[in-house]
Amino acid sequence: MLSIQAHTTLGSMRLDVELAVAPGECLALAGPSGAGKTSALRVAAGLLRPAEGRVEANGETWLDTTRGIDVPADRRRCGYVFQDYALFPHLSACQNVAYPLRGLSRHERRSRALGLLERFGLAARAEARPGTLSGGERQRVALARALARGPEVLLLDEPLSALDARTRAGAARELAAVLRESDAPALLVTHDFAEAAQLGDRVGIIDHGEVVQEGTASELAAAPSSAFVADFTGAVVLTGTASRGPDGLTHVELDGGGTVTTTDDGDGAVAVSVYPWEIAIEPAGVQPHGSTQNHLTAEVLSITTIGNRVRLGLGGPQPLAAEITLASAERLQLEPGARVTATWKAAATRLVAA
Amino acid sequence: MRGGWFGVLLFLCLAAALLFLTLPIAAIFVDSSPGELIDSLGEQGALDALWLSLRTTAAAIVIILLVGTPAAYLLATRSFRGKALVVTLIELPLVLPPAVAGIGLLAAVGPSGILGGTLDAAGIELSLTTAGVVVALTFVASPFYVRQAMAAFAAVDRSLLDASRTLGASEARGFLRVMIPVAVPGLAAGTALALGRALGEFGATLMFAGSFQGITQTVPLAIYDRFSTDFAAALALSAVLVAVSGAILLSVKLVQGGAALGGWQAD
């Protein structure tokens, strides 16, 4: 069990976080840069001392400002993976992993370090300096080094952000496997909701130093508590004014024109959110005749192919994004400048505070 | 060459600088035959001066490294009130004329200086002694090292030190095992600057320690002592100093080049 409470001012920013992570669980803190994600990790590791706070790890108090307890960073058994990995450039991969191993014979340290490197498929790179390792290899060395001391808590700062897109998918799968195997509570921070959803058992959205919503990734995506969370989870967010219609649905007059209907309740200034993959595309001028309630005319601004699907950037009164299959995009002969109608169901439309 | 007349101007300036800076050094070797050089070095006074210069410089460098390295690390990694003032005070001897340094040392630790009585009571005599030479060299050379070492430590990624701490190492261990090895190219450059300055020290040594053969007469003082009476001997000693200084510069370049080849300097 890891629990962190921190209340402090960092320069011009407030940090007010209260987090708890169960043994074997991974809590992924996701938020934009400057939201205080890394600061939360640094408080846990003892690298940053908050004005007020408590940190407890497996029943041991690492920090309690009211009782004047502050265990120094080097006595807190936490495995910290730094954003740029912070590998020691003058030491080989093996020496990096052996660095935290103390009170053992030279031979024992080396064989343990080699064992860890082997587990990460790096036995052949044991003598290489970090400067000659690829991004993916560095990430695995950093992970092996963080695990070497048998940490009670795992702290991971953007563990995948230094990797190129090609390496990232594989590294994410490997990291997920490591996290599943580990009994230690893990706190991971990322600016990418998809990464948080993939690696975290639970996800906390952090903004301006505060955790604004916490839950499983699907809970957050299905019921975002604010426009910020909706936007962060990858939804399209449109703003407007809501009013209750006679049909029992809520109608939102969008800023800039157009109306959207939702099954959620609300009135006044609101934001509506819908996921890009809920949006269907029809050629402009064709009256949609299915069950969808929402129809907005828009212009195709950009077409990005992502594997077998296509992400469309749409311009209208407010920008939209839709994801459709590559096959559909080809059938509709979409290209930038084409006029289309974006349609989606009122039931897929969430109403959140603006 | 790209850039037309500007390129020509750049080239001419470099050529002028190179000629101006290398001509006097070349002249030292051209103006004396190798036979004369070796003969002059056989003289007892010259040998004494060389041996004394090496001993005192080595002692000064050891003191500078042992005290200057932790001090530079502190200045590079902590921020505190008045830090800018502390740094300025440490750098002050850099711009001090050597004669002023000599007078200052006399006034501070000379026989009638403010600490003179205390040192005397402790049985320590500095002025006109070999120990006094070491004090003078340390005083003028240490700012060169501390300044460079500070920059070298400040350039090390702070997350390395954080990583060391989260891996269970005390700050002292991180300092020895991570910060110093990673900063080595910068520390070597600082050491070379201090070595060069100490080897060539003249004014402060002369004023504070005097010029007694075998006791306080280092190579620069010996050169000065001879140049009006025995120019060949002065040239020979100068040639030795050039060779030693050149060797220092070369070894620093090698240390830095080696670090870059090891793949962790440019990283």
Residues in A touching B184 (Cβ below 8 Å): 90
Residues A182 and A240 in one domain: no
pLDDT over 50 (residue A257): yes
CB contact under 8 A, A129 and B182: no
Provide the Cα torsion A310, A316, A317, A322; round to 10°.
-20
**Pick from A224, A244, A276: which residue ends a domain?**
A224
Tell me the pairing of strands A350-353 and A268-274. antiparallel
pLDDT in tens, B178-233: 999 999 999 999 999 999 999 999 999 999 999 999 899 999 999 999 888 888 88
Query: Which of these CATH numbers, 1.10.287.1770, 1.10.10.60, 2.60.34.30, 1.10.3720.10, describes B32-261?
Result: 1.10.3720.10
Domain-embedded: residue A253: yes
Interface confidence (ipTM) of the complex: 0.81
Residues A156 and A265 in one domain: no
Give residue A76's pLDDT.
94
Give residue B2's pLDDT.
59
User: pLDDT > 90: what percent of chain A?
Assistant: 59
Give residue A354's pLDDT.
66
How many domains, chain A? 2
Give residue A234's pLDDT.
83
Domain-embedded: residue A53: yes
Provide the sign of the torsion angle of the four alpha carbons B31, B36, B38, B39, taken in this order. Answer: negative
Count of CB pairs separated by less than 8 Å, A with B: 80
Give residue B266's pLDDT.
36
CB contact under 8 A, A74 and B267: no
Residue of A nearest to B166 (CA): A74
Ranges A276-290, A328-342, B54-68, B89-103: which has the least confidence: A276-290
- On whether the CB atoms of residues B77 and B153 are closer than 8 A, the answer is yes
Residue of B nearest to A90 (CA): B264
**Pick from A205, A224, A243: which residue ends a domain?**
A224
**Pick from A165, A195, A224: which residue ends a domain?**
A224
Residues A172 and A252 in one domain: no
Residue of A nearest to B183 (CA): A90
Domain that holds residue A298: 235-353
CB contact under 8 A, A99 and B167: yes
Residues A207 and A71 in one domain: yes
pLDDT in tens, A73-93: 999 999 999 999 999 999 999
Tell me the DSSP string of A156-201: EESTTTTS-HHHHHHHHHHHHHHHHH--S-EEEEES-HHHHHHH-S
Residues A250 and B151: their CA atoms lie apart, in Å, by: 63
pLDDT in tens, B165-179: 999 999 999 999 999
Residues in B touching A129 (Cβ below 8 Å): 262-264
CB contact under 8 A, B163 and A102: no
> Is B163 in the A-facing interface, judged by CB distances under 8 Å?
yes
Closest to B163 (Cβ–Cβ): which among A86, A129, A148?
A86
Give residue B260's pLDDT.
57
| DSSP single-letter state for residue A282 | E
Give residue B59's pLDDT.
97
Residues in A touching B178 (Cβ below 8 Å): 88, 90
pLDDT in tens, A44-76: 999 999 999 999 999 999 999 999 999 999 999
Residues B200 and B210: their CA atoms lie apart, in Å, by: 15
Give residue B263's pLDDT.
45
Residues A240 and A218 in one domain: no
Residues A19 and A145 in one domain: yes
Interface of A with B (CB under 8 A): 45-47, 72-80, 82-84, 86-90, 99-100, 102, 129-132, 145-146, 148-149, 155
Whole-Å CA distances, A76 to A108, A327, B72, B170: 23, 54, 28, 12
pLDDT in tens, B107-151: 999 888 899 888 888 888 888 899 999 999 999 999 999 999 999
Local confidence band at B264 (pLDDT 50, 70, 90 cut-offs): very low
Residue A277 CA to its chain's centroid (Å):
19
- On whether the CB atoms of residues B159 and A84 are closer than 8 A, the answer is yes
- On whether the CB atoms of residues B40 and B239 are closer than 8 A, the answer is no
Give residue B261's pLDDT.
53
Closest to A100 (Cβ–Cβ): which among B168, B178, B264?
B168
pLDDT over 80 (residue A43): yes
Residues A42 and A48: their CA atoms lie apart, in Å, by: 5
Residues A210 and A263 in one domain: no
> Is B11 in the A-facing interface, judged by CB distances under 8 Å?
no
> Is B159 in the A-facing interface, judged by CB distances under 8 Å?
yes
Q: Could you tell me the CATH number of the domain that includes residue A102?
A: 3.40.50.300
| DSSP single-letter state for residue A226 | B
pLDDT over 80 (residue B32): no
Six-digit token string for A234? 């990858």
Residues A165 and B147: their CA atoms lie apart, in Å, by: 42
Residues A333 and A190 in one domain: no
Residues in B touching A82 (Cβ below 8 Å): 159, 162-163
pLDDT in tens, A138-173: 999 999 999 998 999 999 999 998 888 778 888 888
Q: Could you tell me the CATH number of the domain that includes residue A288?
A: 2.40.50.100
pTM: 0.81
Provide the sign of the torsion angle of the four alpha carbons A103, A105, A110, A115, taken in this order. Answer: negative
Give residue A3's pLDDT.
95
Residues A228 and A264: their CA atoms lie apart, in Å, by: 18
Domain ranges of chain B: 32-261
Domain-embedded: residue A229: no
Residues A39 and A173 in one domain: yes
Residues A114 and A118: their CA atoms lie apart, in Å, by: 6
